[in-house]
């Protein structure tokens, strides 16, 4: 992979100056004056531009004679939670009604303040708020299946109906009765070589997979909520875990298609456009005009491009495989450099005749 798959040098240097965690895993920064390479978000002293070189991976930096920073640990997978945090999350998933206090964390040798800061940074809420949200996820699922409101409240650890009503409104912005019919979308993070992605699943399948720094992410979340009449809660499920596994295999070059079920609400035209994307073979590309012909609408090139832009499940529904008629890379919500990375990645791992 060449440097052309990366953001511009100026963009990368500005990310280093801002210690922007969104670029962790996308590139590493090597400092010639110290011989050390770091994550973009490293809290160490900011290097002067003339002393900085950029590499796509730690392996490339090592090959050029640089050693990893002991402070930001760039050899560890980007965005991966420390083992004690992973254990906490797993416990919350397995026992959502269990309430872990600060003293419980101390008994496990963990600092409540450190745990709080990690959850605030990576999930936008404290650990205790995360626990409450996971309990509420279970309760919302029960309500959606027609369970009794009072019974659901007490079975999920709420000491009063008023407290249950308040918790639901605080998380979902809806009353308990309104939440009974809402679709629950479980949101979690997936780490990839191209940076973290936001993953959303419903009982029907994956409904969201977007790069966390995509400018249109907030709009996509709003549109999805409207389409599904959805509420968002933190957490994952078997489908989410399946997608994370399949994404890992895709980036390792051992998977060329995805088996995970998809939930893609949209107009009939968009559904056809997205199916056409799924029909483009791994390692190949099509123009927007060819995609329009694939769905029997040869004059709807602009509408097809708009449908691709509204695709909420990146990589799995491969809108990155659509290029301009002259072969140039055009429009990709995650950034053209990511589109180039994905196309180059597939070209390298494609088996002839597959």
Q: Name the residues annotated as catalytic.
A: 38, 319
d(C-alpha 144, C-alpha 248), whole Å: 32
In the block, tokens 């791992």 appear at: 349
> Token pair 């279970």 is at which residue?
138
Bridge-based pairing of strands 28-31 and 36-38 is antiparallel
Question: Across the chain, where does the E strand assignment appear?
Answer: 28-31, 36-38, 52-55, 67-68, 183-190, 197-202, 205-211, 230-234, 286-287, 322-323
First to last CA, the chain: 22
Cα separation values, 64 from 9, 18, 31, Å = 18, 25, 11
Q: How far apart are CA 179 and CA 168, in angstroms?
A: 8
Q: How many angstroms separate the CA atoms of 136 and 173, rounded?
A: 13
- Tell me the pairing of strands 197-202 and 205-211: antiparallel
Using an 8 Å Cβ cutoff, are 268 and 321 in contact?
Answer: no
Beta strand 322-323 pairing with 286-287? parallel
How buried is 121 (Cβ within 10 angstroms: 0-12 exposed, 13-18 middle, 19+ buried)? Answer: exposed
Q: Which residues contact 292 (CB under 8 A, 6 or more apart)?
A: 298, 299, 300, 301, 303, 304
CB 239 within 8 A of CB 206: yes
Query: The tokens 């390298």 sit on which residue?
Result: 348
């Amino acid at each position: 992979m060449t440097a052309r798959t990366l953001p511009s040098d100026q963009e990368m240097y500005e990310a280093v100056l801002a210690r922007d965690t969104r670029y962790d895993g996308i590139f590493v920064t090597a400092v010639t004056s110290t011989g050390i390479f770091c994550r973009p978000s490293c809290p160490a002293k900011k290097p002067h531009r003339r002393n900085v070189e950029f590499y796509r991976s730690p392996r490339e930096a090592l090959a050029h004679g640089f050693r990893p920073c002991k402070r930001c640990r760039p050899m560890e997978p980007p965005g991966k939670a420390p083992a004690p945090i992973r254990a906490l999350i797993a416990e919350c998933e397995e026992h959502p009604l269990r309430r872990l206090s600060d003293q419980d964390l101390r008994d496990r040798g963990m600092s409540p303040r450190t745990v709080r800061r990690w959850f605030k940074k990576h999930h936008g809420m404290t650990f205790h708020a995360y626990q409450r949200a996971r309990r509420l996820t279970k309760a919302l699922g029960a309500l959606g299946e027609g369970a009794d409101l009072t019974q659901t409240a007490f079975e999920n650890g709420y000491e009063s109906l008023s407290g249950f009503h308040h918790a639901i409104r605080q998380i979902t912005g809806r009353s308990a009765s309104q939440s009974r019919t809402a679709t629950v979308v479980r949101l979690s993070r997936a780490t990839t070589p191209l940076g973290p992605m936001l993953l959303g699943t419903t009982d029907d399948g994956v409904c969201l997979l977007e790069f966390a720094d995509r400018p249109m992410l907030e709009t996509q979340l709003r549109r999805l909520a409207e389409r599904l009449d959805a509420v968002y809660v933190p957490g994952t499920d078997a489908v989410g875990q399946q997608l994370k596994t399949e994404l890992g295999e895709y980036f390792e070059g051992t998977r060329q298609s995805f088996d995970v079920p998809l939930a893609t609400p949209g107009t009939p035209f968009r559904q056809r456009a997205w199916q056409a994307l799924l029909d483009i073979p791994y390692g190949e590309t099509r123009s927007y005009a060819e995609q329009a012909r694939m769905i029997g609408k040869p004059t709807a090139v602009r509408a097809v491009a708009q449908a691709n832009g509204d695709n909420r499940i990146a990589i799995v529904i491969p809108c990155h495989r659509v290029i301009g008629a002259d072969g140039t890379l055009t429009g990709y919500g995650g950034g053209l450099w990511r589109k180039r990375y994905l196309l180059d990645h597939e070209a390298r791992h494609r088996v002839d005749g597959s």
